[in-house]
Amino acid sequence: MPRSKNKTMPRWVETLRDLMESEGLNPRSLSLKAGLSPTAVRDMLEGRSRFPRYDTAEALARALGTTPAFLMSNDSAEEHTMDDTGLLTEIIARLQEISEELEHPLSPREFAAMAATIYRRMQDEEKKHGAASAIQNIGAKIYDLLDYEKLRKQGGRR
C-alpha cells in the first residue's frame, strides 16, 4: 500500500494504515469487514475524506479491534498512551452500549464497579503489552464481565 508523503494527510490515516497492516487487511478486505464501501475506505486512505463521521470511524475501529478514540487519535499506535479521561470515556460509552444491546440493565453501583474493573484490567494489560493491545479489547472485556455478573446473579438466586 503506497504511503503518501503529503504533509497535510491526517495522522489518523497513518494509524488506520498501521492497524490494517497489523491485521493483514487490504482496503477491500477492510471495507467488507467494516461494512463500508470500498470507495469510502480508499478515499480515506488517499486523504480525500479528512474526518469520517462517527459511525464510519466506529465501523472501522470495530473491524480493526480497536476504538474510535484510538483510531482518530493524533498519536501513532507506537506513541499512543492511554489518557485516563479518554480511556474512561471510551469504557463508559462501550459499557453502556453493550449493556443496552444485551438488555442487561445495571444499577449505578454495578456500572461504576464494572467500569473501574475494566479500567484496572486495561492498565495492567497496558503495562504488560502496551497501549494498543490493551485498548483493542475493551468490548471483549465488557462482554466477559457482563456474562460473569449475570451468572453470579443467577447463582445467588438458587
- Give the predicted TM-score (pTM) of the model: 0.51
Residue listed under C-alpha cell 489518557: 83
Looking at CATH, the fold of the domain delimited by 11-71 is given as 434 Repressor (Amino-terminal Domain) (1.10.260)
**Domain map (residue ranges) of the chain:** 11-71, 84-156
Question: What pLDDT is recorded for position 4?
Answer: 45
CA–CA dist 138, 11 (Å, integer): 23
Question: What pLDDT is recorded for position 134?
Answer: 65
Residues in Cβ contact with 53 at an 8 Å cutoff, skipping those fewer than 6 apart:
none
CA–CA dist 55, 80 (Å, integer): 22
What is the mean pLDDT, run by run of 10 residues, along the chain of 158 residues? 58 88 91 94 88 88 81 61 69 87 90 91 77 69 85 72
Question: What pLDDT is recorded for position 78?
Answer: 47
Instruction: Using alpha carbons only, give the angle 114, 116, 119 rounded to the nearest 5 degrees.
Output: 110
Report CA dihedral (145, 64, 12, 133) to the nearest 10 degrees.
50
